[in-house]
């Protein structure tokens, strides 16, 4: 908190802080000024009224009334001005309704709409027409109070609704305030903290009344005084206090501000030097910065950092950087309650202020608290630094924390507090509705509900699976699909690990950084190359924070390359070869490498499961202490890729023939098949028949030359090996083991002689 | 009788359980990580490495962690963990936004007419209660950080 005060001291020193009566978003429910971010919009119905102000001075005095329209009748007692457009054409026109005649001034373009809304019909031609500028400076009699309001021209007048003559109460609106203060009108706002009229309102029966309740009294008074031209129900979107859910009012009070105009250009410049993810974030925040008004930093609340404003004996507010720094030193030791615990005189004595100095009672907008964390936290904690590499929040923070932090950082350092700014969408249900704990949303939204049901790793897997730059869909049903993916990844890890049980650490160490051994077959070279591809893609995805690419890459690798192909194809050699057969060991080494790499690559996503799997590799250190695997080969192995791509196409051709043979009950499984494969010889050049039989998982392969690949399946005449279940030519040839193929006989023989 | 060849096969062997039982087993990992001070180990292991600071936008110390907040913290954690595994030093100092209307509103609604100092004491207690709750919920998600020493906007310093 002390640091927050020191930042305010710097702002004061730079002349950025000022005090002014100004209309602010005011919550009458919470009795405080609100930041823009604390305002939400709701649909509501209000009574809109057409009211006449008899023209009292100038050329039309006593001859006509100017007609205004407003949706906030309660602000009429604070009316001081009527605004018209300088260039638009206005008419002086007689209207009649049920025998009543009125001569009114209003915009030509809105005569028809006015007639339709009020029932007043124009009679005859306009008596006069002129541009609005001619009305400037005329006085008009206030309909409720003994004073005149002045007609002025203004740019905010539109010809969309109303009469083209706009009711202006400088104490109750942004545009109103600007026009009023420019022309020297008081910022009149006769409403108290609770949204009730004060005595200043000048109408005794309204004093103490809540303004939204007073609307109907005002309409009645207007009707009694015969100045009400018409009324209509008006449905519109109106700002509400996000906490108390009460409609907000614009109300002028003494507030402390940060002058944004002094920071705007530098902030816009700083924005261009940040990497925005996604890119449109840049336009979004630039738009907010361009349009944001001065920053109201005072809050009439207790729970916050005290706003370090002092008052002189005569009640003048004092902003003094040195005093604020002395206060900061005191707060650093005793906490900010000291501001509330000490009396005015005790605090003045403690800080060495002139006797008679008193303290204010406001607190600082919380958006300052978090908005200066780059200074209070990043710049001050030894393990961090400012600017940070990254801020990462939901998209609503373009107008919230990203912006508040940017403004304070520009004021302090003339640069943004972040190098990269990432936003993610809101979590929405399948109907696109934002899930939230504050609305009437009736499904579970607490993270703990899903963690205790599915585990944190599934919630993490969900977070990784979506492209977070859009809104993030979420539903209970999504966990079913995620569960399938999770089980696939877990089972892949489990099968790989199951095949490593007799691999010695020394075998792994021997092979070192080489990715292949002499016995490495095509399929091993291929999977190791695929792994290199996966490592490269995942590293790149992590570097660009695109976690969904990691999810899809690993999911695909597990489902297709590993489960459907590699693990399936190498099953025979893994289960049936001699334990230390070179090609089995070569495959084990590849599997070890894959298992190791998957644990590391999955660690940021499946933080728990990767750790669990990692422990089965036997090390003590956590997977989270490791580095990602590196891509080993400097280039992809184009030979194996082309070769395996060709084999996969042939495998598809064979697969169809096998399926047909199975349907015809010609064979039970593919190991019983004798496949005559016809294709161009060059497609399988340099690959042994043994390897091809393994790759296609068939009993017997016969190769014939042909231009177009095709396959014919017959039942093999070879006998089935009792051990590996493959149908091999060598089964039956041995005297000692007539039920085995030659490979299996060797294995069994070796076992017998070793025991 | 045919010899039993099944024993001669190198069938896969592993204790790696097929069923994950994540919800019940994850807390065991959390305990080990805490006992071995894994976050500190990681920071020490990357001492001197290039620094990558992801600065935590502080959530309000109010209410339970819902899926939106969980998504935010998990995305941050995936950045921090992956940057660490890319070789950088990526400390994560979680924060909480403690002051402000949401908390004061609840306190004041419960008992009106309190003096400012009393409101502040109750607000602080309220904030600390929810910081503890949220901290446990964030840790349970597997998010690594300096949970013992977070930044609170109400800290005196």
Q: Which residue has the tokens 């579970």?
A: A444
DSSP bridge partners of A139:
A150
Q: What is the dihedral of CA A85, A88, A89, A92, to 10 degrees?
A: -20
Measure CB to CB from residue B53 to each of A2, A388, A422 and give the nearest one.
A388
**Partner B contacted by A65 (CB < 8 A):** no
Asked if residue B128 belongs to a domain, the reply is yes
Cβ atoms of residues A488 and A555 within 8 Å: yes
- A566 pLDDT exceeds 90? yes
**Partner B contacted by A585 (CB < 8 A):** no
Pairs across A and B, CB distance < 8 A: 304
3-state SS of A464-526? HHCCCCCCEECCCCHHHHHHHHHHHHHHHHHHHHHCCCCCCHHHHHHHCCCCCCCCCCHHHHH
**Nearest-10 crossing angle of helices A689-696, A638-663:** 60
- Among residues A98, A96, A99, A66, the alpha carbon closest in space to that of A83 is found at A66
Asked if residue B6 belongs to a domain, the reply is no
- For the residues A307-329, what does the mean pLDDT come to? 94
Residues in chain B: 157
Q: State the Cα–Cα distance between residues A586 and A589, nearest whole angstrom.
A: 5
| Residue A60, CB-side half-sphere exposure with 13 Å CA sphere | 26
Tell me A200's DSSP state.
G
* Three-class DSSP category at B118: helix
Helices (H), A335-423: 338-341, 344-351, 366-371, 373, 401-413
Q: State the Cα–Cα distance between residues A308 and A549, nearest whole angstrom.
A: 50
Q: Shortest Cα distance from A336 to chain B (angstroms)?
A: 7
**Partner B contacted by A599 (CB < 8 A):** no
Q: Shortest Cα distance from A754 to chain B (angstroms)?
A: 13
Looking at residue B99, its pLDDT comes to 94
Asked if residue B116 belongs to a domain, the reply is yes
Per the prediction, chain A carries an average pLDDT of: 92
**For chain A, what percent of residues have pLDDT higher than 90?**
80
A314-324: string of b/e by CB count within 10 Å (b at 16+)? eeeebbbbebb
Residue A435: pLDDT band (50, 70, 90) is confident
Between the alpha carbon of residue A349 and those of residues A309, A311, A379, A444, B116, the distances in Å are 16, 15, 32, 55, 22
Cβ atoms of residues A693 and A704 within 8 Å: no
What residue numbers bound the domain in which B110 lies?
25-152
- For the residues A371-390, what does the mean pLDDT come to? 97
List, as ranges, residues 33-72 from B with C-beta within 8 Å of A: 33, 36, 38, 41-43, 45, 51-55, 57-58, 63-72
Q: H helices then E strands: how many in chain B?
A: 5, 2
Q: What is the CATH number of the domain that holds B75?
A: 3.40.50.620
Tell me A75's DSSP state.
G
- For the residues B111-138, what does the mean pLDDT come to? 91
Asked if residue B147 belongs to a domain, the reply is yes
Asked if residue B7 belongs to a domain, the reply is no
DSSP bridge partners of A236:
A44
- A433 pLDDT exceeds 80? no
Q: State the Cα–Cα distance between residues B130 and A358, nearest whole angstrom.
A: 35
Tokens at B51, concatenated: 């620094």
Q: Which residue of A has its CA nearest to B79?
A: A545
Domain tally, chain B: 1
Select the more confidently predicted residue: A241 or B54. Answer: B54
Task: Give residue-wise pLDDT tens across range A219-272.
Answer: 999 999 999 999 999 999 999 997 788 999 999 888 899 999 999 999 999 999
Task: Give residue-wise pLDDT tens across range A517-527.
Answer: 666 789 999 99
Contact (CB<8Å) A390/B55 = yes
Select the more confidently predicted residue: A17 or B4. Answer: A17
**Partner A contacted by B109 (CB < 8 A):** no
Cβ atoms of residues A19 and A256 within 8 Å: yes
A537-575: string of b/e by CB count within 10 Å (b at 16+)? bbbebbeebbbebbbbbbbebbeebbeebbbebbebbbb
- For the residues A603-609, what does the mean pLDDT come to? 98
Asked if residue B1 belongs to a domain, the reply is no
Exposed, middle or buried, B28 (CB in 10 Å: 0-12/13-18/19+)?
exposed
User: Residue A394: which H helix or E strand, with range?
Assistant: strand A388-394
Asked if residue B12 belongs to a domain, the reply is no
* Three-class DSSP category at A97: strand
Asked if residue B8 belongs to a domain, the reply is no
Measure CB to CB from residue B156 to each of A2, A377, A392 and give the nearest one.
A2
Looking at residue A36, its pLDDT comes to 66
What is the pairing mode between strands A317-318 and A310-311?
A: antiparallel
Exposed, middle or buried, A294 (CB in 10 Å: 0-12/13-18/19+)?
middle
Task: Give residue-wise pLDDT tens across range A187-197.
Answer: 999 999 899 99
Q: State the Cα–Cα distance between residues A629 and A596, nearest whole angstrom.
A: 8
The complex's ipTM works out to: 0.97
Residues in chain A: 755
Q: Shortest Cα distance from B76 to chain A (angstroms)?
A: 7
Looking at residue B1, its pLDDT comes to 46
Q: Which residue of A has its CA nearest to B115?
A: A302
Q: State the Cα–Cα distance between residues A231 and A47, nearest whole angstrom.
A: 7
Exposed, middle or buried, A665 (CB in 10 Å: 0-12/13-18/19+)?
exposed
Cβ atoms of residues A109 and A164 within 8 Å: yes
In order of their start, the domains of chain A are: 2-21+257-424 (3.40.50.620), 25-251 (3.90.740.10), 463-468+478-636 (1.10.730.20), 650-754 (1.10.730.20)
Contact (CB<8Å) B116/A447 = no
**For chain A, what percent of residues have pLDDT higher than 70?**
97
Sign, CA torsion A168/A172/A173/A177:
positive
Cβ atoms of residues A676 and A712 within 8 Å: yes
Task: Give residue-wise pLDDT tens across range A448-479.
Answer: 999 999 999 999 999 999 999 999 988 888 89
Q: State the Cα–Cα distance between residues B151 and A375, nearest whole angstrom.
A: 12
> Cβ–Cβ contacts within 10 Å for residue B111, how many?
10
Measure CB to CB from residue B9 to each of A392, A575, A628 and give the nearest one.
A575
Tokens at A446, concatenated: 């607490």
Between the alpha carbon of residue A328 and those of residues A2, A355, A657, the distances in Å are 4, 20, 83
Contact (CB<8Å) B23/A455 = yes
- A707 pLDDT exceeds 50? yes
List, as ranges, residues 1-30 from B with C-beta within 8 Å of A: 2-3, 5, 8-18, 20, 22-23, 25-26, 29
């Amino acid at each position: 908190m002390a640091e927050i005060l020191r930042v305010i001291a710097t702002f004061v020193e730079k002349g950025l802080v000022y005090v002014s009566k100004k209309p602010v978003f005011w919550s009458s429910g919470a009795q405080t000024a609100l930041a823009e971010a604390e305002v939400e919009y709701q649909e509501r119905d209000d009574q809109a009224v057409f009211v006449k102000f008899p023209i009292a001075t100038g050329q039309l005095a006593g001859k006509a009334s100017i007609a205004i329209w407003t949706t906030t009748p309660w602000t009429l007692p604070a009316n001081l001005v009527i605004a018209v457009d300088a260039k638009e054409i206005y008419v002086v026109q007689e209207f009649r309704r049920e025998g009543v005649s009125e001569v009114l001034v209003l915009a030509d373009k809105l005569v028809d709409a006015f007639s339709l809304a009020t029932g007043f019909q124009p009679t005859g031609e306009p008596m006069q027409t002129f541009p609005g500028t001619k009305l400037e400076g005329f006085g008009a009699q206030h309909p409720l109070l003994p004073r005149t309001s002045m007609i002025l021209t203004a740019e905010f007048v539109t010809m969309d609704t109303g009469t083209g003559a706009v009711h202006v109460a400088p104490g109750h609106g942004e545009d109103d305030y600007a026009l009023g203060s420019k022309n020297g009108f008081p910022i009149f706002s006769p409403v108290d903290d609770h949204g009730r009229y004060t005595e200043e309102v000048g109408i005794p029966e309204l004093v103490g009344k809540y303004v939204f309740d007073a609307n109907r009294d005002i309409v009645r008074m207007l009707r009694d005084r015969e100045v009400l031209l018409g009324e209509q129900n008006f449905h519109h979107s109106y700002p509400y206090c996000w906490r108390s859910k009460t409609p907000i009012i614009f109300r002028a009070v003494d507030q402390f501000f940060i002058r944004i105009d002094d920071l705007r250009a530098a902030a816009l410049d700083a924005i261009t030097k940040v990497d925005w993810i996604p890119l449109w974030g840049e336009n979004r925040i630039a738009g907010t910065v361009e349009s944001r008004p001065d920053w109201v930093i005072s809050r009439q609340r207790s729970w916050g950092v005290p706003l370090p404003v002092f008052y002189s004996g005569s009640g003048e507010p004092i902003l003094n950087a040195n005093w604020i720094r002395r206060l900061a030193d005191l707060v650093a030791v005793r906490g900010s309650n000291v501001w509330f615990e000490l009396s005015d005189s005790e605090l003045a004595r403690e800080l060495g202020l002139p006797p008679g100095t008193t303290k204010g009672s406001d607190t600082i907008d919380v958006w300052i608290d978090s908005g200066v964390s780059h200074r209070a936290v990043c710049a001050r904690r030894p393990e961090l630094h400012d600017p940070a590499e990254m801020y990462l929040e939901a998209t609503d923070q373009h107008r919230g924390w990203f912006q508040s932090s940017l403004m304070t950082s520009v004021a302090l350092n003339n640069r943004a507090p972040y190098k990269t700014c990432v936003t993610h969408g809101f979590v929405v249900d399948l109907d696109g509705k934002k899930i939230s704990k504050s609305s009437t949303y009736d499904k579970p939204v607490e993270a703990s509900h899903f963690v205790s049901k599915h585990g944190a790793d599934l919630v993490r897997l969900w977070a990784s699976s979506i492209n977070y730059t859009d809104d993030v869909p979420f539903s209970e049903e999504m966990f079913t699909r995620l569960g399938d993916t999770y089980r696939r990844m877990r089972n892949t890890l489990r099968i790989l690990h199951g095949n490593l049980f007799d691999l010695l650490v020394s075998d792994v160490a021997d092979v070192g950084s080489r990715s292949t051994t002499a016995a490495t077959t095509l399929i091993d070279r291929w999977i190791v190359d695929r792994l290199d591809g996966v490592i490269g893609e995942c590293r790149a995805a992590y570097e660009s924070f695109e976690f969904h690419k990691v999810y899809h890459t690993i999911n695909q690798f597990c489902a297709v390359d590993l489960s459907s192909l590699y693990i399936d194809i190498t099953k025979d050699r893994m289960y049936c070869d001699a334990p230390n057969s070179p090609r089995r060991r070569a495959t084990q080494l590849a599997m070890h490498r894959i298992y190791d790499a998957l644990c590391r690559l999955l660690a940021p996503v499946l933080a728990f499961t990767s750790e669990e799997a990692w422990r089965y590799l036997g090390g003590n250190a956590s997977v989270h202490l490791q580095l990602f695997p590196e891509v080993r080969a400097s280039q992809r192995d184009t030979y194996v890729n082309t070769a395996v791509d060709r084999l996969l196409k042939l495998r598809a051709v064979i697969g169809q023939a096998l399926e047909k043979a199975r349907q015809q009950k010609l064979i039970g499984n593919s190991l019983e098949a004798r496949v005559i494969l016809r294709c161009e010889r060059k497609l399988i050049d340099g690959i042994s028949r043994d390897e091809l039989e393994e790759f296609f998982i068939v009993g017997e392969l016969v190769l014939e030359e042909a231009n177009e690949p095709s396959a014919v399946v017959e039942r093999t005449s070879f006998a089935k090996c009792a051990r590996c279940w493959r149908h091999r030519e060598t089964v039956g040839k041995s005297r000692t083991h007539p039920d085995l193929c030659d490979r299996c006989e060797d294995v069994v023989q070796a076992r017998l002689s070793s025991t | 009788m045919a010899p039993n060849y099944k024993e001669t096969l190198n069938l896969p062997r592993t204790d790696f359980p097929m069923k994950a039982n994540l919800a019940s087993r994850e807390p065991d990992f959390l305990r080990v990580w805490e006992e071995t001070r894994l976050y500190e180990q990681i920071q020490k292991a990357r001492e001197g490495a290039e620094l990558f600071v992801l600065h935590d936008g502080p959530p309000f110390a109010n209410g339970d962690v819902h899926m939106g907040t969980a998504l935010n913290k998990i995305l941050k954690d995936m950045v921090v963990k992956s940057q660490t595994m890319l070789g950088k030093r990526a400390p994560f100092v979680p924060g909480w936004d403690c002051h402000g209307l949401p908390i004061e509103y609840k306190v004041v609604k419960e008992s009106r007419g309190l003096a400012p100092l009393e409101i502040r004491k109750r607000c602080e207690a309220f904030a600390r209660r929810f910081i503890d709750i949220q901290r446990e919920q964030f840790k349970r998600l597997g998010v690594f950080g300096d949970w013992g020493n977070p930044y609170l906007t109400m800290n005196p310093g």
